Structure 1
């Protein structure tokens, strides 16, 4: 699972952290550091299939609280997290100046927030409505030795975004999740 280009090494450093945090969350810390066991691959693959169908085809999970489901959150962490991180690193690399302070809305387990930190941001806040996703973000921050602020934020409750002064506000794949299946646009 490599990423070519200037950010590949950054992503490679995240893979063992993602695996370690996922295993800790499941209460099982045994296994190879840089790859999943065949049984783990099977488990994550089933979750990825469910996420893929639910977020792109059937759309039953779009806007749903799937990050609160440990199996789906784990599949997100080990499959979609690296993709979102890589996309964010590429986009952040296009900016003419590094943002100092970043707010990541709808962060989930914070792939975009960590991409911002790796791109040189000094202060990053990850905001999401999923407590389990934010807990994984904090565990990843601990594992990586990074300072990451987290805030609960639920836009469906008309809550204003976390207060503060930010040079950049990111939203990752939030737009994909604004409308669920059967929602009129």
Structure 2
């Protein structure tokens, strides 16, 4: 039986008072989609950063909640996790409760600049273009991001598992053939009397 797709669930949910319950809800959404959700709930005495990195390494993809957190932008820890996942070649799927473009959340005051005189990105994206590059959709619910991951990754994961199984069976067939040839050679040697 092929291994189920594993999705790392990144986002600021870990800071909520009901973090464990929210993590369970997100994992249940993954279960409903037929995949395993990996939620990084802090365990006392465990290096949370390393635990998160290890979970991302074990995942097939990352689902990230980029809803604004303590300001106009997303949680910086989630931004790190997105960057780490991308550096490791993991696909990233995004969702946000606020999908308005940044220019709507940080309205320019004059000449496309904010009150501090800094340019406001106006690319029509809900977050910095390094987080939401061209071609990357941002769902409005975790279910949308999970469904996007399942749709994009289910076949490649099954195909990878099928390749592994095929390699194993070919190796097994080769070894059995080798054993049969050696056994036949031993029988012929006995009959001929060598």
TM-score range, shorter chain: under 0.3
> Which has more radius of gyration?
2
TM-score normalised according to structure 2 size = 0.27
With CA pairs under 8 Å and 6+ residues apart, which has the higher RCO, 1 or 2? 1
TM-score normalised according to structure 1 size = 0.28
